[in-house]
Structure 1
Amino acid sequence: MDLFNFIKNQLDIITVISEYTNLKKTGSQYWKALCPFHHEKTPSFSVSPHKKIFYCFGCQETGDVINFIEKIENISAYEAAQHIIQRYNIDVPDTIEKNSSLKKEKTPFQLCQLVAQWCNNKLLKNKVALTYIQDRKVSSNTISQFTIGFFPVGTKAIQDLVSYIMNNGFSTKELLQEHILFQGKGALYSPFENRIMFPIKDHLGQTCGFGGRIFKPNDQRPKYYNSKETTFFKKGKILFGLDIAKHYIQKSKTAFIVEGYTDCIAMYQHGYHNTVATLGTACTLDHLKQLAKHAQTVYMLYDGDNAGKQAILRLTQSCWQLDMDLKVILLPPNQDPASILEKEKTIDTYIATGSDIFTYFLHATGKNFQKHSIRDKMIAINDLLHIIKNIQDDLKQNILLMKAAEIMQIPLDILKKQYTNRDKPVITNTQKTSSIQKQIDPDNELEVQILATICHDPTVITKQDETLLLAKLSEPIKNIFTKIMQHHNSASSSLEAQKLENILTQQELQYTQQILFKIETTNIKQTFVNLMSQFQKKHWKSLVSHIKMKLMQAKQANNRQEMLELLEVFEKLKKDLYKNGRL
């Protein structure tokens, strides 16, 4: 008998699948449920415990218990077998030779689990660390459930850890490879020393990393330290507590996301067992994809500060490709779930105030919308339409457009017209950082504004101004400026948008369209004069040197006309500098 058949004979398929969907017995031979592989409202997923197989009449997924885990967790058949062996504590006898290496093979997960157990034992023996945990109302059951631990400080502790893992078949080299230990000057050390340890597990319950928190008042190190990322530990993909919460999420079809493991543990202790946490990063699409396998509704509990709001707004850009209801719960400033639960023992009142993420986005974007500048209004509207266009459901698109029109006080027909033309180039926040903008030094904002005024109206510039700007403008601003001035000087007319398209590259055109919004005044000429005054004050020494050099070159070339033009530029520069008190 091979390993796969052995597992199937040892395990009831109902037990496994029940952790992913709510099975109900129908008749004497079958169990039915909503399919965990696709969204549906009427159950079409059937399981036969006698035949040890499942089948969905909706999406046609079928197979045995190994196939089920393989597909639902998106892992290989061998990884599915390993997961089942560990999850259900199946003892594989030595007689099962085929694939027996699967059971005995050492993995980074096993090493991390050993370290977690070692730290947990140290916590229970360290009075100071254990008192710190208990003072924060963390029960002994929770300590055991999350394998909370403590990493002692010093060479003796490091030696004890090395001895412990060597007795379990691992080596110091592997501790170094997994970034649990580091080689210092003459001795090993760990950045986790003197920290409370929170083992981090993947969705299969395999320990893959750690979070360490300082707890002594005089400790000046960063409050939290997470394991370095590896091929199996990616902070943007792993949700702390998912291995524990998954069962509760599947039953309730809801999940809560908080911003850290201490909040997650506090939620768990107060009965919100369907809670997971991100690892010091904003919630990502990968996080939500994992939850979408088990939950229909996800509540995001974020601090009410600006960083929390911005994280939600960014997520709105991509979350609509998931078939789930995503709701936002904004907590009071300087409050988190742990602090609220300590005082109020519940967060139910905050849950009741949760709004779907799109409504939140609309209200956040539409707040004081009528008071915004035209530029900000255009960006907000186009960001909004960019999101709606990715929604596949036409009815949902229309509902959201109606809601947007109401909140932003824009006639629905105008908004729909703009939406119909959504394939045309629009200005969105995601487009603002163009490749050209990346080349421009942030300190060159003055040059950018000068270019913006010239894009508005190149007639404001004199020949002398053009000479000074060409002497000091940096690339790629200088290149765009040169093209505009060459066109303007030859055409002797105002610069129109359609003509910009003929003289600039697509990237240059997008950039100039963007910076046009930097100038909101109607008095372009006065704005340009003020900007040129700042430009001259900033660069007057190099401008004077440049003109003197050009004069010398013109004199050597016996170019009298150029010499006269340069003298005019020099005189104007001197006059302006005297006027502005620079000379």
Structure 2
Amino acid sequence: MARIRQTDIEEVKARINIGDIVGERVALKTAGVGSLKGLCPFHDERSPSFHVRPQVGYYHCFGCGESGDVYSFLRAMDHLSFTEAVERLAARIGYQLHYEDGAAAPETSGRSRLYAAHTAAAEFYRSQLSSPDAQAARQFLGERGFDAGAAAHFGVGYAPQGWSALRDALRSQGFTDEELLTGGLVSKGQRGVYDRFRGRVVWPIRDVAGQTIGFGARRLYDDDQGPKYLNTPESPIYKKAQVLYGLDLAKKSISREHRVVVVEGYTDVMACHLAGVTGAIASCGTAFGSDHITVLRRVMGDSEGSSGEVVFTFDPDAAGQKAALRAFGDEKRFAAQTYVAVAPDGYDPCDLRLNRGDAAVRALVEAKAPMFEFVMDQRLSTFDLSTVEGRIGALRAAAPIVADIRDAALRPGYTRVLAGKLGLDLAEVQPEVERAARRSAAPAGPAERGRGETSPTTGGGVPGGGAPSTDSAPASVRVTLASLPPALELEKRALMGVLQYGHLLDKQAVDIALGLPMPHPALEAVRQAVSMQSDMTRPGWTSAAVDATREPYRTLAIELLTADFPAGTERIAQTTAMESLRKLRQRALEREKAELRSAQQRLEPGSPDFRSIGVAIRDLDLRLRQLMEAE
């Protein structure tokens, strides 16, 4: 396979803002000069420890230790090869890649081909919606309040009734049956290969970056013996447990407002967005679960202390109640507050908009109730409260819900509410709630403690890891900023300043400071790698410095590159970095002077060596004065 020229690889990376790429999947907030921060997409966490530095093109998680550039991020998120990652980003900015030995661009395979096939399929379905054969599809949409503009906005299309319309169209574009089968666009039976979706309204399902990865389709014709709704099967690019319909359109609203509305169907998502509730999403062919929560939390920036809201809309039937109880089981995975909104008369958002207008949809979301209150009512409804046995059973079922309310200030009030609903005295209800709270607070087992979190006392580049006890670290132990002694703060800040702002610093001052050995082997390894870089204005020089840092110290180099630098503006950062370099030189000169004085004291006063050292000390004094005057 032809290799992409290295110069093109560097050029594409230099033109791409890594903050834009990461920001499509993670809600990022400013965290200092040139630094962005959000919840890590590589592990589950409650407080953001994932840092992105667009200026140097790097990301690093101080929680799990994952780090890299824009290519490694895209490869990890979308499971691409290196070549596929470069080609996707090049296509994004319209950059023409060149291949070694003048070879033409290779015919890409695997995931890139599947993405391309789904993009072509989405366009095919869209074009078919205006065909005469699609009258039933247009009628279906129109009856639900969706005109041609709405269909175009959401990319809704139509799958023709024939057995091979899509297959023929995509094969004419060079796609093979094997690729279409792998992507779930066609199926294979005894009579051969045929279109998976036939005679249906089709919704494109996109990932958070806007790439089409699958489809959802609804039956239109009475003679169709297939299921009412049919989705793309699991494929290399479509994982239904992680896919949320509408997230590509909703992500900006979710990130900005820190609110997401979870609905149950494609038309509900459309209705909400058209009514102004632009943070609406839905799961695709599967129940809303823990993987969906992980995706949403990253897009929301759902961390401890945030004021986010997650609003679930459930149908008031048995299936909706079951879905609510299932969602409540995962509710604590959100840092945000969770709510339930149930429309009057059993309407879903699509029906509500159709019958009562856009304002009613917005009012539905605003009239939300806390999820714990909704679930408590559902639990109570299963008991006969007219009997003593029913009331006691209901109390035992509902007390754990009140005990688990995260806002402790609300628990006494809802204990009284529960007593009122049951017709019991508060003195009877409160002890049961307190017992439930004690059971809930019992120590978790090892398998549950810190689920999804990395231990702060083990390796993996986690802040809080123990400092190495010797001058050298075992090859399997990564040294991190947090593991270094506080006495090395100046050295850390100086290297951080050079790595992050080297292009703004005086080259002579940098060269002199980088010529001074560091007192710790990890910092010394980074210093050596950085000092090898002759041009700090060249794009990609920081990546070269990181790559040149020998293991097990590369993680430290990445952390120095991505950590928050103590400055409010770039000008202050430049000044602070230069001051750190000056102090390094000052300390080195003072150390040399102290060593000379110690040596001089052991000599006979007036001896040639005594006088020679005296000259050297006076020279050091002069250099120190010049250094201080240049401040």
Q: Which amino acid aligns with 1:358?
A: F
2:56 alignment partner, one of 51, 54, 57: 51
Q: Which amino acid aligns with 1:51?
A: V
Residue 147 (structure 1) aligns with: 155
Matches within 5 A, 1:7-406: 7-19=12-24, 20-21=26-27, 23=29, 30=34, 39=46, 48-53=53-58, 63-66=68-71, 73=77, 78=82, 81=85, 85=89, 88-95=92-99, 105=110, 106-126=112-132, 128-129=135-136, 131-132=138-139, 133-134=141-142, 136-155=144-163, 158=164, 160-184=165-189, 186=191, 188-216=193-221, 222-230=227-235, 232-295=237-300, 296-342=308-354, 343-346=356-359, 347-366=361-380, 371=385, 380=394, 384=398, 396=407, 399-400=410-411, 403-404=414-415, 406=417
Distance 2:315 2:172 in 1: 45
Measured after TM superposition, the shift of residue 310 of structure 1 is: 2.1
1:96 and 1:400, CA in 2 relative to 1: closer, same or farther beyond 3 A? farther
Measured after TM superposition, the shift of residue 171 of structure 1 is: 1.7
Q: Which amino acid aligns with 1:349?
A: A
Distance 1:299 1:218 in 2: 38
1:67 and 1:183, CA in 2 relative to 1: closer, same or farther beyond 3 A? closer
What's the secondary structure of 2:216's corresponding residue? strand
Measured after TM superposition, the shift of residue 220 of structure 1 is: 6.3
What's the secondary structure of 1:30's corresponding residue? coil
Query: Sequence identity of aligned pairs in percent?
Result: 23
Distance 2:83 2:430 in 1: 53
Measured after TM superposition, the shift of residue 228 of structure 1 is: 3.1
Measured after TM superposition, the shift of residue 291 of structure 1 is: 0.9
Distance 2:82 2:8 in 1: 9
Measured after TM superposition, the shift of residue 302 of structure 1 is: 1.5
What's the secondary structure of 1:50's corresponding residue? coil
Q: Aligned pair count?
A: 413
Q: Which runs of 5+ in 1 are unaligned?
A: 425-583
Per-residue CA deviation, residues 514-571 of structure 1 (Å, 9 max, x unaligned), is xxxxxxxxxxxxxxxxxxxxxxxxxxxxxxxxxxxxxxxxxxxxxxxxxxxxxxxxxx
Residue 585 (structure 2) aligns with: none
Measured after TM superposition, the shift of residue 303 of structure 1 is: 1.4
Measured after TM superposition, the shift of residue 193 of structure 1 is: 1.4
1:22 and 1:87, CA in 2 relative to 1: closer, same or farther beyond 3 A? farther
- The answer (yes or no) to whether the contact 1:22–1:251 under 8 Å persists in 2 is no
Q: Which amino acid aligns with 1:407?
A: L
Measured after TM superposition, the shift of residue 351 of structure 1 is: 1.6
1:96 and 1:143, CA in 2 relative to 1: closer, same or farther beyond 3 A? farther
Per-residue CA deviation, residues 167-194 of structure 1 (Å, 9 max, x unaligned), is 3332224334444334456465445211
Q: Which amino acid aligns with 2:159?
A: F
Measured after TM superposition, the shift of residue 260 of structure 1 is: 0.8
What's the secondary structure of 2:14's corresponding residue? helix
1:374 and 1:94, CA in 2 relative to 1: closer, same or farther beyond 3 A? farther
What's the secondary structure of 2:240's corresponding residue? coil
What's the secondary structure of 1:209's corresponding residue? strand
Distance 1:379 1:90 in 2: 66
Residue 407 of structure 1 pairs with residue 418 of structure 2: yes
Measured after TM superposition, the shift of residue 421 of structure 1 is: 4.8
Tell which deviates more after alignment, 60-69 or 122-131: 60-69
- The answer (yes or no) to whether the contact 2:183–2:237 under 8 Å persists in 1 is no
Measured after TM superposition, the shift of residue 9 of structure 1 is: 0.9
Matches within 5 A, 1:482-501: none
Distance 1:47 1:228 in 2: 34
- The answer (yes or no) to whether the contact 2:205–2:212 under 8 Å persists in 1 is yes
Distance 1:349 1:419 in 2: 35
- The answer (yes or no) to whether the contact 1:327–1:356 under 8 Å persists in 2 is yes
Measured after TM superposition, the shift of residue 276 of structure 1 is: 0.9
What's the secondary structure of 1:255's corresponding residue? strand
Measured after TM superposition, the shift of residue 329 of structure 1 is: 0.4
Per-residue CA deviation, residues 127-173 of structure 1 (Å, 9 max, x unaligned), is 62564245644344443343322121235xx1x43332223332224
Distance 2:181 2:439 in 1: 56
What's the secondary structure of 2:310's corresponding residue? strand
- The answer (yes or no) to whether the contact 1:36–1:294 under 8 Å persists in 2 is no
CA RMSD for the aligned pairs? 4.2
1:232 and 1:68, CA in 2 relative to 1: closer, same or farther beyond 3 A? closer
What's the secondary structure of 2:245's corresponding residue? coil
Tell which deviates more after alignment, 169-178 or 55-64: 55-64
What's the secondary structure of 2:367's corresponding residue? coil
1:116 and 1:421, CA in 2 relative to 1: closer, same or farther beyond 3 A? closer
Measured after TM superposition, the shift of residue 400 of structure 1 is: 3.9
Distance 1:74 1:361 in 2: 37
Give the alignment's TM-score, normalised by structure 2. 0.55
Residue 505 (structure 1) aligns with: none
Distance 2:55 2:368 in 1: 44
Residue 416 of structure 1 pairs with residue 429 of structure 2: no
Q: Which runs of 5+ in 2 are unaligned?
A: 1-5, 301-307, 443-631
What's the secondary structure of 1:208's corresponding residue? strand
What's the secondary structure of 1:293's corresponding residue? helix
1:67 and 1:333, CA in 2 relative to 1: closer, same or farther beyond 3 A? farther
What's the secondary structure of 1:138's corresponding residue? coil
Measured after TM superposition, the shift of residue 69 of structure 1 is: 5.3
Distance 1:135 1:420 in 2: 53
Measured after TM superposition, the shift of residue 354 of structure 1 is: 0.4
Measured after TM superposition, the shift of residue 328 of structure 1 is: 0.6
